[in-house]
Structure formats: C-alpha cells, structure tokens
Amino acid sequence: MSQTTTQPDPYLKGLQAYIVGGAVRDGLLGLPHGDRDWVVVASTPEDMVHRGFIPVGGDFPVFLHPITKEEFALARTERKSGRGYKGFTFYTGADVTLEDDLKRRDLTVNAIAQSISGELIDPLHGAQDVRDKILRHVGPAFEEDPVRILRLARFAARFTDFRIAPETLELCRKMVRLGEVDHLVPERVWQEIARGLMSEQPSRMLNILADTGAAARVLVDWVDSKRVRTAVDSASELGLALSSRYALLCVETIDLASLSKQLRAPADCGDMARLLQLVLSKLDAIETAQDEVHPEKNENVERVLSLMESCDALRKPDRFIGLIHTVNVLRPLQVRDWQRWLSAILSLDAGAAAKLAPTPQTIRETVREARRQALLADF
C-alpha cells in the first residue's frame, strides 16, 4: 500500500507539519494525487512568516511554501456561529492539537495525517474505512456544514466502489430537514456539482442528492430521470467536457435558464444545455442516413444548414462538434457525417461567393445559397 512521502525540506526543519486529507487517502488507495495540503501544529502566524512562508489565508491562517507553493494551514478548531457554509468561527492557537484538527474534518477517510517521516496518525480509524471502502462522517460536527453533503455525494461519484455508511446518510437527511442546505451559496454548490459531474460515475452523486432530499433544495428547477442519470455516466465514459455533462444533466429540465442562474453555471455550460435542447427538438425532422438520393434531399440539406446556423456552428465549429457528440449520447448520430458537412461549409470561400452577388443587398442570400450548394454536393 503506497503512501505519500517527502524529501528533506529545510523550511520544515523543527516544524510540526503533517500532510492531511486527500493526498494521504489517495496514497493509501495507490492513486496519484495532486497538491498536498499540510497542517501545522504548535506554531503561530509570526513563526510561519519568519520561516519564509507566504501568508494567503482569509478566514484562518494559511501559508504558501516559498518553493513548492503548497498550502500550510495552522491547526484549528471550529465552532458553529451561524447558518450555512460560512457560519463558523475558528481558533488557531498554538495549543490546538493535530487530533483536534482531524476531528473537525468531514469524513474519516479524509481525517488521516502523515508525518514528514511517513508515519500515519489516524485517531479516527480512517485507514480502516479506506480498506473497507466506506465513506463515514467523522462525528456530530459533520452536520454543522451543509457543504459536506455535496462533498459526500461528489466523493461517491469519484470512488465508485465505496459505500456510504447508513448513519452518515441518515445524518444528511436530518441536515436537509433542518434547512441547513438552504443557506449554501450558489458558487459553492456549483463547485461541488461540477466536480461531481467530472467524476467517474456522476449518477452516484445524483443518487445521494436525491436520497437525502438535498437535490430538491440545491437544484430547485432540475428535472431528474433515469435517462439523465444514464446520460451523465455515458458522458463520463466518453470523456466529454463539463459543458456537455451539464447539458445532459439538464436535458429534461424545462426552466433551464432558471436552473443555470440558480447554480451560477458558466456561460459555456448554459449555452451547451440550451443548444442541446434546441438540436434535439430539430433532429426529428432531419434524415441523417444519406446512402442514396431520395426526394427529400433538398429539404434535408436546408434543415441541416438551418440547424447549424441556429447553433452558430460557422463561428464556433468546435462547440458545434462537441454538441453533436453530446447529442450522440442520447440518440445515435452519424457524427462523421456532421463533421464532414460542417467542413464542407467552412471550406467554402465566402468572400468569393459574395462577389457573385448581383447587388450588395443580396450578398447574404448569395453566400448562404453557396453554402447550401456545398452541403448538397456532400450529401
């Protein structure tokens, strides 16, 4: 079982610093990890600055290593002082122990520390839960932070062979009933939803949010279905972009604009979701099998060109191809045909076509007809 190890670091000499959280967990799982997070015990902000660390923390003291730029946070305890994600006060005195800091964390698998020498410090038995593949809350303080429901759901989507402890699920349901999730800020909700969508099995996140009742609070206008859950998992298997996965998440949602606004979804995600619904509504009228000429060929060329125009495919061809791949998750398409048709239109010299217009007023019409003819020749 691999663990995270470090090389001797002069900046850490004499410092009680421990790697914590995801890097330790992923090391136990034999997985690659990203940046390491550190917690520092028995130190002060003044001592950290004196050592050369760069202060960057807002709500509590966090410092960047002067060379690696990894984050070092002073060990802290938390006390609930209000509703929602930011309703906490923090204490970071030098008397806060490592165990005190670990006890404030969300899940036991994230509450394991590792010393500079590689020794595990695991008072909450997180390593055993890693071996048993269980996501379990650390303690009663879990219910003080509603973001932890979203994080739990996201971890379920990432670690697909882990199960959630029944008592943890029940605690999440209680938190929803008490209204804690109603105070989450949209930006944090989006951050967790987006990360969950980019995980291996996003439907597991949706299952947890639905099971706990959180989906009805944080995804108010979202319409769930088996089709949606299957689609987001297929998108993950295909490695589609976040915008495509979000579009599939929203494919059944009627008030799409409201949901995107509620989540503060990025513009590219909102656009892809809107275009997916638009294309699906148009595709039923398009015959994509072009093996032989048939009487409706001209009509289908017009429909394809009109669809591309409505999606701004000529100005944003990469987005359009991504859109076609997204549509293909829900209904079979000849993706290569669409790529070829788009290439045929893009390869047309619009400037040369414009010169053939009899009057300036007919330039747009002339260029469009040239594009239609190029498309017709490729059908």
Percent of the chain with pLDDT over 90: 79
Give the per-residue pLDDT at 263. 97
Mean pLDDT to the nearest integer, 82-105: 83
* Strand arrangement, sheet containing 37-41: 54-55, 62-64, 71-74, 37-41, 16-20, 113-115, 120-121
Closest CA to 150 of 199, 116, 103: 199
pLDDT in tens, 208-242: 999 999 999 999 999 999 999 999 999 999 999 99
pLDDT in tens, 333-347: 999 999 999 999 999
> In this model, does residue 176 exceed pLDDT 60?
yes
pLDDT in tens, 106-165: 999 999 999 999 999 999 999 999 999 999 999 998 998 999 999 999 999 999 999 999
Per the structure block, which two tokens stand in for 62?
Answer: 């966090």
Q: What is the Cα–Cα distance from 246 to 152, expressed in whole angstroms?
A: 19
84: pLDDT confidence band, cut at 50, 70 and 90? Answer: low
Helix (H) or strand (E) holding 325: helix 317-330
What amino acid occupies position 152? Answer: L
Q: What is the Cα–Cα distance from 196 to 155, expressed in whole angstroms?
A: 8
Closest CA to 169 of 136, 195, 197, 202: 136
Give the per-residue pLDDT at 89. 82
Which of 53-67, 72-86, 99-113, 281-295 is predicted most confidently? 99-113
Question: What are the C-alpha distances in Å from 290 to residues 277, 285, 287, 303, 338?
Answer: 24, 14, 8, 14, 11
Question: Are the CB atoms for 189 and 263 separated by under 8 Å?
Answer: yes
Task: Specify the 3-state DSSP secondary structure of 252.
Answer: coil
Helix (H) or strand (E) holding 120: strand 120-121
Q: Structural domains in the chain?
A: 1-128 (3.30.460.10), 280-378 (no CATH)
* CB-neighbour burial class of residue 252 (10 A; exposed 0-12, middle 13-18, buried 19+): middle
pLDDT in tens, 228-280: 999 999 999 999 999 999 999 999 999 999 999 999 999 999 999 999 999 99
Q: What is the Cα–Cα distance from 92 to 59, expressed in whole angstroms?
A: 11
> In this model, does residue 2 exceed pLDDT 50?
no
> In this model, does residue 5 exceed pLDDT 60?
no
Give the per-residue pLDDT at 7. 62
